[in-house]
Amino acid sequence: MFETAARIKPLLVALDDEVPLTEPVTIDKLIELTKRFTSFSDIRLVPMGKSRSIAGSHVAFPEANMVVIFFRACLGHPIGEPNRECPTCRDARFFIAKELSHAFDGDDERTPPGDAEEMLLKETLAGSYSGKQAQADLLGSMWAVEMLFRYHNRVSITGDGTFPAQAQLTASRTSGDYSYFAKQFCVPVVVAELGLRDNVLASMKALRKYVGLPLFHYQPGN
Amino acid sequence: MSDLQRALDIFETKFGKVGNVKFLLTGGMSMDDVSAEFLALAESVANDTARMLDSYPEPDLAQ
């Protein structure tokens, strides 16, 4: 986990430097930064219409410096522009971000074809995640949260009471309805709820401290 | 050979060696479901029936 955090750190820093905290992160920007900080210069998205079991998939071709990402797409809106009101679009953004994070996988976290069935699918389907390859798959979801619902936003929301969003957080925690934050940051509702949990934020704070990521990032106007 | 391995063979034939494959799965599936779906995806890419987006803004998905 710490090794992956160190590898993905430049992307998170660049996101905070280049995208105002008040704006949702675009998939276009995530692809641009993934290209900048990995060896993959060609990243293709393949929208899937109906899919029973696969919400997203990442297939990397290192010799071609290429990644192909399949994602369960919204058939009503293009993915290039964040659509806060559409839950299917918000889901699709999360699926893509999760699969993009695997471009940062370390050597021992990658799943080559021979291991895919034994080391990845069986563990993933069983929910065991004991091997590093399957753990990386689980961690990808965590990095997707960090990319789309950024730490500094969540710190502001859960902070010391000086930000207006904290009143909304109290309301969300009381009602269990996190759709306000889901729409604001264009993420699935479950991601908004997860990202604002105190224990998740505390874990991320420790991780960020360990790899030298800033614990609070000020942008004028935020 | 499983559908999953067939799918990966198809990808290798088209783009070269596969170095990493990952999935985000939804509930209620089986190994056979995932493998069969992944094979269908690989075949759609191999047959150029999949739309591979490499620039923005992409075409209107509603079409």
pLDDT for the residue A222: 44
Q: Which residue has the tokens 């799943």?
A: A111
Cα–Cα distances in angstroms (integers) from residue A76 to residues A13, A48, A191, in the given order? 32, 13, 22
Whole-prediction pTM value? 0.91
Encode chain A (222 residues) as per-residue pLDDT tens digits.
678 888 999 999 999 999 998 889 999 999 999 999 999 999 999 999 877 899 999 999 999 999 999 999 998 888 888 899 999 999 999 999 999 999 999 999 999 998 898 888 888 888 888 888 888 888 899 999 999 999 988 988 887 666 667 888 889 999 999 999 999 999 999 999 999 999 999 888 888 888 888 887 554 444
Rounded Cα distance between A34 and B41, Å, is 23
Instruction: Tell me whether residues B34 and A98 touch, CB distance under 8 A.
Output: no
pLDDT for the residue B63: 45
Please choose, from the candidates B57, B40, B60, B59, the residue with its C-alpha nearest in 3D space to the C-alpha of residue B49. B40
How many CA atoms does the CB half-sphere of A120 hold within 13 Å?
26
On whether any CB of chain B is under 8 Å from the CB of A29, the answer is: no
Q: Which residue has the tokens 């094979």?
A: B39
Residue B1 Cα, gap to closest chain A Cα (Å): 11
Chain B residues with CB under 8 Å of A73 CB are: 61
Residue A4 Cα, gap to closest chain B Cα (Å): 15
Chain B residues with CB under 8 Å of A79 CB are: 53, 58, 61
Q: Please give the torsion angle defined by the CA atoms of residues A122, A123, A127 and A128, in that order, rounded to the nearest 10 degrees.
A: 140
Residue A78 Cα, gap to closest chain B Cα (Å): 6
pLDDT for the residue B50: 83
Please choose, from the candidates A11, A64, A2, the residue with its C-alpha nearest in 3D space to the C-alpha of residue A38. A11
A30-89: pLDDT as tens digits = 999 999 999 999 999 999 987 789 999 999 999 999 999 999 999 888 888 889 999 999
Domain boundaries, chain A: 2-211
CB proximity under 8 Å: A 149-208 to B = none
Please choose, from the candidates A193, A178, A157, the residue with its C-alpha nearest in 3D space to the C-alpha of residue A21. A157
Chain B residues with CB under 8 Å of A98 CB are: 24
For this complex, say whether ipTM is above 0.85.
yes
Tokens read off for B1: 């050979």
Encode chain B (63 residues) as per-residue pLDDT tens digits.
789 999 999 999 999 999 999 999 987 788 899 999 999 999 999 988 888 876 544 445 444
